[in-house]
Structure formats: C-alpha cells, structure tokens
C-alpha cells in the first residue's frame, strides 16, 4: 500500500478497530480469489482501502442482502477510442457493469495526435472513479503504406516510461519487424524490456512464435484452442477477447483448467457503444465463462486477480486487507448480474445508475485535427478509364476483404447498378491532398455516400458513395463537423455523429452516441445498405495489413503481394 506515514497510522488504527471505519459491507458472500472459496464475511473499508474482516464500528453500514461480493473487474486491453467517448464518459458507461480498472492502449488517438494523444488520455483519466492504466502504443504509424498524423519513436515513448499509470509497451503488432530484427522494433523492446510488453500475433506459431514470445508477454489474438495452447506453453498470458468484431471466448475457454487458469484474463479490445450498453463488458465475459462450465471463483479470478498479477498491479484484484476497495456486488439469484459497484470504498453505481460525480474538465486538445486539401476535391475524385478493374469485395462481419476483378467503364459513370461503388481515402492530417481512389462491392448503397474519420489505423477520411459529387459532400461534411461519421444524399446531411476530438471521440455521453449511431445506421439503410455495421466495415477498408485488397490515401494496396497496385489490371 502506498501512502504517507500519517496515512499508515490512520489505516492501522482503523484496521485494529481503534477508530470507527468509514464503511462496513455487511451480509455479503465474499468471492475470495486468494483462497479460492466463497465465504460469508463482513468487509471494513477506510480511506478507500479494505482494512479488515468481521465486526467493526462503522460510520456507514451497507447491507448486501446475502449477495456475492467480488473484486472490481479488470479489462486488460482495450482502446477507449473504440467506445467513441472520453475517459470520463467511458467510466460512466462501464462502472455500472462492474468494471473498476482498465488497461488501455491509446493507439488510435496516438495515430492522429502522437504524444499529445497519449497525454490527453492520461490527463483526462487521472481523476475519475475508474483506474485507467496505459500501455504505450508500440506501432505508430501502423504501416508505411499510409499517411498518419504522427510517428512515435522509442525515444518518444521513453518520455512516458516513468508515468505512474504507464505499465509498458502495448500490443507489438509488428511481429514481422521483430522477426526480421528491424532496429526500430528492437530499440523499442530494449527500452521497455523490464516492463510489460503486450503481444499481438494472430496465427503466429512454431519457431517464429518462439522468437516473438521471448519478448511478448501476452497475446489477445488467439482464435483457436490450439493457437492459445501453444502461446500459453511459450510463456504468453492469454487475453481472452470479446470485442465487437472479434469474439474468442467460446473457442478459448475450452483449454482453461484450474492448473493453468491463472495465465488467462479477459479483455474487450474494441467494443463499440452499442455493445457496451447492450451485451455489457467484463461482467458479460464472467457470465459466459461460467455458462461454459468454468468454476465461478475461477471465472472471477480471470476477471480480476489474473490481470492484476500480469500487470503487477499491487492492491488490485482481490478482497483483502490492504487492497483497494474496488468491488462489485453480484446478484446470486439473477445470473451474477452486477447490482452495485464500489470504487475506492464508495458506492459508485447501483442498479445500473452511476451515483458518483464524474468530473469532466473541458479540454480543447484534439480539436481541429481535420486538415484536408479541399480545393478541386470534386475534380480529383473523378474516376476515369475502362477495362478489367481490381475491386475490393466486402466480406460481411469481417475485417478482411477479397479482391475481385470485373469489367468497368468509368467514363460511363460508376456502375452502381452492379453494386460497384467508388471508395476514396482522403488524407486529413496534413492537408497534403493525398487521395486514394478505388472501387468497392458489397455496401449495397444505391444513392448518396457515407464517410468517416474513424478509419484504422491512420484515421484518414474514408468514404464510399455512388458518385464523386456525393463522396465530395460526405468528405467535406466530415471536415465541417470537425471529424465524425456522416451520411449524405442529394447534398443534404441525413445523419451525423460528430467526433470532434481527434476525429475519433465525442464529448457527448455514451447514450447520446448510441442514439446517433442508431440514426446513422437507419440513414445508411435508407441509402440501400444492408450491412450489419456499415461504419465498422468502412473503418477497416483502409487497414493495409489485413488481406486482401485495401485502400489508403496513397492508393490501392494488395496486402498479399504487399505492394500498391493500379486500378486496372
């Protein structure tokens, strides 16, 4: 426990019962992740710290009505940006779900704002009732095939090394760079070799995985039991991910045993606002794990102690003297539903409602990050020529795409009737005028256009539409709202979600975002689109590390051949 000597004295007195403690949680059943048991126990809290068990004189007594009391849940890897809200608003969303600690990787905002983006997340999360730890983005920019807003060198990252809430290096996506001994990658690893290094190595195996596992302490990209088992045996902690796009719990939970469960914990990675408000967060993963046959105490260990141990977060992850009083009450009779969240000894949420003040300080950083070259945009969006074209084929619910080839005559216009649409990626960090143009099939849009400044990983503006006029309107519309997602038709904005912070985050509450997302979805449907999540699909069109055919502000990119290609064969 960290404190001043005076603080120690008071805590000791409270623990001994020499003074009244602040709070006593009575009549609860503690899920004890340390002994691996559940037992009837009263819990005394003072100054935000658990100070003892049993009978205490307390200023406030809270009756838990025989319900279960567990440590607060920990999300071991996520990008807060994916929730589209600020850290305080994120806290407001997840506190009622029992989450009291998150370890985030500000990868998205760092791709736009660089060091200032990391600083923004640290600052805006410093005084909220949610423990927000930061892993430093290891791969900004994600690739050299696109224009990002920033570049982070090992030297840049070192500036954050000694921050209290910085734990290490976030997902080391550049495993090919490590395996090929890229000096930049080695320098980053060397700079953080005594801290935690999160891995990210989908499908890597054999000797290449061995080489990678020497440095990477974990992985959150496992999709099969075999992949997880190999990574586990090679020393990596397995983060079981249930994101909006990628759901791995069902596959991975099969290999969890009481003899290896300590090496597993839960993460959400990317969870969009609708999912957070719908399915939930780590609470849902606990429930799912128990349904899959995991012992409830073990499931709670995976949601608490295991992540705390991996990240060496002393004082988090268990209910015992000296631990932070971050706890959740679970309804025994209602499927482990979270009914109360206690944060630093205070009831922060009850029955789905946040009961504490969450300070939001007006912070103007991140505003005005949209810089496009508007002159002649309409002209530059014009596509010409005819022949056999390489077309990006959308794969529903997947971030991969296919490449198909079809005959097109662009001089006669975009062949919307064959569901072939224009796709454009407009560089928006430096106003360079970079503009990548291509064709895409599968959106089903019959009129108008959509555009978004959320576009992994460099977050340029990506737009899909039926004509250069509509696309131009959509891109300029995104610029006008200072970043965000938009649906346009006939020169009119049909729906929009403003994301004025880095073009990724709103300053509105999550419920507001939800409303606007629903309106956006309906507006896209009105254009004829039948995709389940068109803006998510859109946001991965510009990610040139996921096969097959992608597009960046620098042009069409064939991921398998790993080179830029022309539109016409």
Number of residues counted as binding its own copies (CB under 8 A): 65
For residue 263, the minimal CB distance to its own copies (Å) is: 6
DSSP code string of 367-380: TT------TTHHHH
User: What would you measure as the largest C-alpha separation in the chain, in angstroms?
Assistant: 87
Q: Is 431 in the site for its own copies (CB under 8 A)?
A: no
Distance CA 151, CA 115 (A): 9
Q: Which stretch binds its own copies (CB under 8 A): 297-305, 339-347, 460-468, 538-546?
A: 297-305
Distance CA 77, CA 270 (A): 9
Question: Hey, which residues between 52 and 91 contact its own copies (CB under 8 A)?
Answer: 52-54
Distance CA 131, CA 19 (A): 28
Q: Which stretch binds its own copies (CB under 8 A): 294-302, 343-351, 459-467, 479-487?
A: 294-302
For residue 53, the minimal CB distance to its own copies (Å) is: 7
Q: Is 210 in the site for its own copies (CB under 8 A)?
A: yes
Distance CA 103, CA 34 (A): 22
Q: Is 26 in the site for its own copies (CB under 8 A)?
A: no
For residue 347, the minimal CB distance to its own copies (Å) is: 22
Distance CA 149, CA 108 (A): 10
For residue 217, the minimal CB distance to its own copies (Å) is: 8
Distance CA 562, CA 545 (A): 9
Q: Which stretch binds its own copies (CB under 8 A): 120-128, 202-210, 474-482, 558-566?
A: 202-210
Q: Is 491 in the site for its own copies (CB under 8 A)?
A: no
Distance CA 339, CA 330 (A): 6
For residue 43, the minimal CB distance to its own copies (Å) is: 11
Specify the residue, 2 or 362, whose C-beta has the smaller distance to its own copies: 2
Sort strands 237-241 and 264-267 into parallel, antiparallel or unpaired. parallel
Q: Is 320 in the site for its own copies (CB under 8 A)?
A: yes
Q: Is 48 in the site for its own copies (CB under 8 A)?
A: no
| Residue recorded with tokens 């000791």 | 12
Q: Is the Cβ–Cβ distance between 479 and 447 less than 8 Å?
A: no
Name the β-bridge partners of 134.
Answer: 104, 166
Q: What does each C-alpha distance from 472 to 60, 372, 415 come to in angstroms?
A: 61, 12, 18
Q: Which stretch binds its own copies (CB under 8 A): 99-107, 205-213, 265-273, 439-447?
A: 205-213
For residue 170, the minimal CB distance to its own copies (Å) is: 18
Sort strands 196-199 and 549-552 into parallel, antiparallel or unpaired. unpaired
For residue 55, the minimal CB distance to its own copies (Å) is: 9
3-class SS letters over 510-564: HHHHHHHHHHHHHHHHHCCCCCCCHHHHHHCCCCCCCCCEEEECCEEEECCCCEE
Q: What are phi and psi of 402, to 5 degrees?
A: -110, 160
Give the length of the chain. Answer: 569
Residues in Cβ contact with 505 at an 8 Å cutoff, skipping those fewer than 6 apart: 81, 84, 85, 86, 109, 366, 499
Take residue 352 and report the two structure tokens written for it: 């789905």
Q: Is 16 in the site for its own copies (CB under 8 A)?
A: yes
3-class state of residue 236 by DSSP: coil
Specify the residue, 318 or 536, whose C-beta has the smaller distance to its own copies: 318
Specify the residue, 74 or 462, whose C-beta has the smaller distance to its own copies: 74
Q: Is 251 in the site for its own copies (CB under 8 A)?
A: no
Name the β-bridge partners of 464.
Answer: 423, 450
Give residue 479's Cα distance to chain centre.
Answer: 24
Q: Which of 162, 194, 364, 379 binds its own copies (CB under 8 A)?
A: 194
Specify the residue, 204 or 372, whose C-beta has the smaller distance to its own copies: 204
Specify the residue, 5 or 412, whose C-beta has the smaller distance to its own copies: 5
Q: Which of 118, 150, 169, 189 binds its own copies (CB under 8 A)?
A: 189
Binding pattern for the stretch 144-183 against its own copies, x by CB under 8 A and - elsewhere: ----------------------------------xx-x-x
Q: Which of 95, 318, 392, 536 binds its own copies (CB under 8 A)?
A: 318
For residue 110, the surrounding DSSP H or E stretch is: helix 107-113
For residue 25, the minimal CB distance to its own copies (Å) is: 15
Q: Is the Cβ–Cβ distance between 93 and 335 less than 8 Å?
A: no
Q: Is 232 in the site for its own copies (CB under 8 A)?
A: yes
Name the β-bridge partners of 169.
Answer: 136, 197
Q: Which of 22, 23, 32, 421 binds its own copies (CB under 8 A)?
A: 32
Q: Which of 120, 265, 323, 336 binds its own copies (CB under 8 A)?
A: 323
Distance CA 465, CA 478 (A): 14
Specify the residue, 181 or 362, whose C-beta has the smaller distance to its own copies: 181
Give me the residues that bind its own copies (CB under 8 A), please: 1-5, 8-9, 11-13, 15-17, 32, 34-37, 39, 49, 51-54, 178-179, 181, 183, 186-187, 189-190, 193-194, 206-208, 210-211, 213-215, 229, 232-235, 257-260, 262-263, 295, 297-298, 301, 309, 312, 314, 318, 320-323
């Amino acid at each position: 426990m960290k404190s001043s000597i005076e603080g120690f004295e008071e805590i000791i007195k409270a623990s001994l019962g020499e003074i009244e403690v602040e709070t006593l949680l009575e009549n609860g059943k503690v899920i004890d992740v340390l002994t691996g048991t559940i037992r009837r126990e009263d819990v005394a809290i003072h100054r935000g710290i658990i100070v003892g068990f049993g009978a205490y004189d307390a200023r406030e007594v809270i009756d838990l009505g025989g319900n279960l009391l567990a440590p607060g849940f920990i999300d071991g890897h996520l990008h807060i940006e994916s929730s589209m809200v600020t850290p305080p608003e994120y806290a407001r969303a997840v506190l009622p779900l029992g989450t009291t600690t998150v370890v985030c990787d500000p990868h998205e905002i760092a791709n736009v704002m660089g060091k200032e983006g990391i600083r923004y997340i640290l600052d805006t999360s410093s005084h909220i009732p949610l423990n927000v730890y930061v892993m430093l983005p290891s791969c900004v920019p994600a690739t050299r095939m696109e224009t990002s807003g920033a570049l982070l060198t090992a030297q840049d990252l070192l500036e954050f090394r000694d921050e209290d809430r910085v734990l290490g290096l976030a997902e080391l996506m550049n495993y090919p760079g490590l395996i090929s001994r890229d000096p930049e990658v080695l320098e980053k690893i060397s700079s953080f070799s005594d801290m935690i290094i999160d891995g990210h190595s989908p499908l890597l195996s054999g000797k290449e995985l061995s080489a990678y596992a020497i440095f990477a302490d974990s992985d959150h990209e496992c999709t099969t039991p075999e992949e997880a088992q190999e990574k586990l045996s090679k020393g990596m902690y397995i983060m079981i991910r249930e994101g909006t796009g990628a759901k791995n719990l069902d596959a991975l939970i099969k290999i969890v045993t009481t003899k290896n469960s300590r090496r597993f914990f839960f993460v959400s990675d990317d969870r969009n606002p609708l999912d957070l408000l719908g399915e939930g967060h780590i609470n849902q993963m606990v429930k799912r794990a128990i349904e899959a046959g995991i012992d409830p105490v073990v499931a709670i260990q995976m949601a608490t102690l295991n992540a705390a141990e991996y990240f060496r977060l002393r004082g988090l992850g268990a209910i015992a003297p000296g631990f932070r009083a971050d706890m959740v009450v679970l309804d025994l009779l209602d499927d482990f539903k979270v009914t109360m969240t206690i944060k630093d000894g205070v009831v922060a949420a009850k029955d789905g409602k946040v009961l504490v003040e969450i300070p939001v300080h007006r912070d103007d950083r991140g505003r005005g990050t949209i810089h496009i070259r508007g002159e002649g945009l309409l002209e530059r969006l014009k596509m010409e020529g005819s022949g056999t074209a390489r077309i990006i084929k959308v794969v529903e619910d997947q971030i991969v795409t296919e490449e198909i080839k079809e005959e097109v005559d662009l001089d006669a216009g975009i062949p919307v009737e064959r569901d072939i649409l224009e796709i454009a990626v407009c560089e928006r960090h430096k106003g360079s005028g970079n503009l990548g143009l291509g064709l895409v099939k599968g959106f089903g849009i019959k009129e108008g256009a959509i555009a978004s400044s959320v576009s992994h990983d460099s977050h340029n503006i990506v737009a899909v539409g039926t004509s250069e006029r509509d696309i131009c309107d959509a891109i300029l519309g995104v610029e006008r709202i200072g970043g965000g997602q938009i649906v346009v038709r006939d020169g009119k904005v049909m729906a929009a979600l403003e994301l004025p912070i880095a073009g990724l985050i709103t300053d509105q509450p999550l419920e507001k975002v939800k409303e606007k997302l629903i309106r956006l979805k309906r507006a896209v449907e009105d254009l004829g689109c039948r995709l389940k999540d068109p803006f998510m699909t859109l946001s991965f069109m510009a990610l040139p590390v996921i096969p097959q055919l992608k597009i960046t502000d620098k042009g069409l990119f064939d991921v398998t051949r790993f080179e830029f290609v022309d539109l016409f064969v």
